[in-house]
Amino acid sequence: MSSSPTDALDARFDRLYRAERERLWRALFAFAGNADVASDAVAEAFAQCLRRGDRVRDPRAWVWKAAFAIARGELQERSRWAMLADSEPAAAPDSSLERVLLALARLSPRQRAVILLRHYAGYRSREVAELLGMAPATVRVHLARGRRNLERALEENDDEDRT
Three-class SS of the chain: CCCCHHHHHHHHHHHHHHHHHHHHHHHHHHHHCCHHHHHHHHHHHHHHHHHHHHHCCCHHHHHHHHHHHHHHHHHHHHHHHCCCCCCCCCCCCCCHHHHHHHHHHCCCHHHHHHHHHHHHCCCCHHHHHHHHCCCHHHHHHHHHHHHHHHHHHHHHHHHHHHC
Instruction: Tell me, yes or no, whether 115 and 74 share the same domain.
Output: no
Instruction: Tell me, yes or no, whether 70 and 121 share the same domain.
Output: no
**CATH code at position 141:** 1.10.10.10
Where a domain ends, among 85, 102, 124?
85
pLDDT at position 111 over 70 = yes
Where in the sequence is the domain holding 100, given as residue range(s)? 91-163
pLDDT (0 to 100) of residue 118: 92
Instruction: Tell me, yes or no, whether 106 and 33 share the same domain.
Output: no
Q: What is the mean pLDDT of residues 120-140?
A: 90
Q: What is the mean pLDDT of residues 64-93?
A: 70
Instruction: Tell me, yes or no, whether 78 and 22 share the same domain.
Output: yes
Instruction: Tell me, yes or no, whether 66 and 102 share the same domain.
Output: no
Instruction: Tell me, yes or no, whether 103 and 137 share the same domain.
Output: yes
Alpha helix segments (H runs only) across 53-119: 59-81, 96-105, 109-115
pLDDT in tens, 3-31: 666 677 678 889 999 999 999 999 999 99
Instruction: Tell me, yes or no, whether 50 and 105 share the same domain.
Output: no
Instruction: Tell me, yes or no, whether 36 and 65 share the same domain.
Output: yes
- pLDDT tier at 94, thresholds 50, 70, 90: low
Instruction: Tell me, yes or no, whether 81 and 137 share the same domain.
Output: no
Instruction: Tell me, yes or no, whether 6 and 71 share the same domain.
Output: yes
Instruction: Tell me, yes or no, whether 15 and 75 share the same domain.
Output: yes
pLDDT in tens, 132-161: 888 999 999 999 999 999 999 888 877 666
Would you list the DSSP string of 61-75? HHHHHHHHHHHHHHH
Q: What is the mean pLDDT of residues 111-124?
A: 90
Where a domain ends, among 85, 115, 142?
85
DSSP character at residue 117: I
Q: State if pTM tops 0.85.
A: no
Instruction: Tell me, yes or no, whether 81 and 95 share the same domain.
Output: no
pLDDT (0 to 100) of residue 131: 86
**CATH code at position 4:** 1.10.1740
Domain count within the chain: 2
Where a domain ends, among 57, 85, 113?
85
- Higher-confidence residue: 133 or 44? 44
pLDDT (0 to 100) of residue 98: 84
